[in-house]
Amino acid sequence: MGHFQSVKGLQLNLELPKKWMELGQNGFQRTLPGTLSWPNLVLTRAITTVAQGDNNVVNNKLFEWAVKSAGPGLQMADNKFKKKKGSITLLGRDNKKLAAWAFEGAVLVSWKGPAFDVGSDDVLTEEVEIAHEGFYPA
């Protein structure tokens, strides 16, 4: 989907271990690990263009995903919702891969477009929030 200037939510939370007493076993408590959970990913990138024939057009892939995730866009897909897979790759200054994470079961939670201000020279950005079912090293 492109290069992102900001990625938030690469975090793994481990629930505290569960402890319980087993009937008839008074000498110790049993311990089981807690469940894993992951916060939503929040990705921000500059609005960019891509070549399309003889023209450059705005790269709308993230917005298109948002539109297809609910309402008329989902109806046009016969109400068949499909979770996505994705990956995040950290590149060094030399554009070489430093680390990567793959995630599964991705569902778009929100898309936020640019804030226009004619008095500002800020780069126009878009932001997406993605819920997922976990990530792992890629």
User: Is residue 88 included in any domain, yes or no?
Assistant: yes
The confidence score (pLDDT) of residue 110 equals 93
At position 92, the amino acid (one-letter code) is G
Contacts of 41 (CB under 8 A, 6+ apart): 7, 8, 9, 10, 88, 103, 129, 130, 132
User: Is residue 1 included in any domain, yes or no?
Assistant: no
The confidence score (pLDDT) of residue 91 equals 94
User: Is residue 24 included in any domain, yes or no?
Assistant: yes
Mean pLDDT, consecutive 10-residue stretches, the chain (138 aa), reads 89 88 83 91 87 78 81 74 91 95 94 89 91 94
User: Is residue 133 included in any domain, yes or no?
Assistant: yes
Do 45 and 3 meet the contact criterion of CB atoms below 8 Å apart? yes
d(CA 132, CA 54) in angstroms, rounded, equals: 37
Provide the whole-model pTM.
Answer: 0.80
The confidence score (pLDDT) of residue 131 equals 96
Tally of domains within the chain: 1
The confidence score (pLDDT) of residue 10 equals 95
Please report, for the domain that includes residue 39, its CATH number. 2.30.110
Contacts of 129 (CB under 8 A, 6+ apart): 40, 41, 42, 108, 109, 110
User: Is residue 76 included in any domain, yes or no?
Assistant: yes
Domain containing residue 90: 6-137
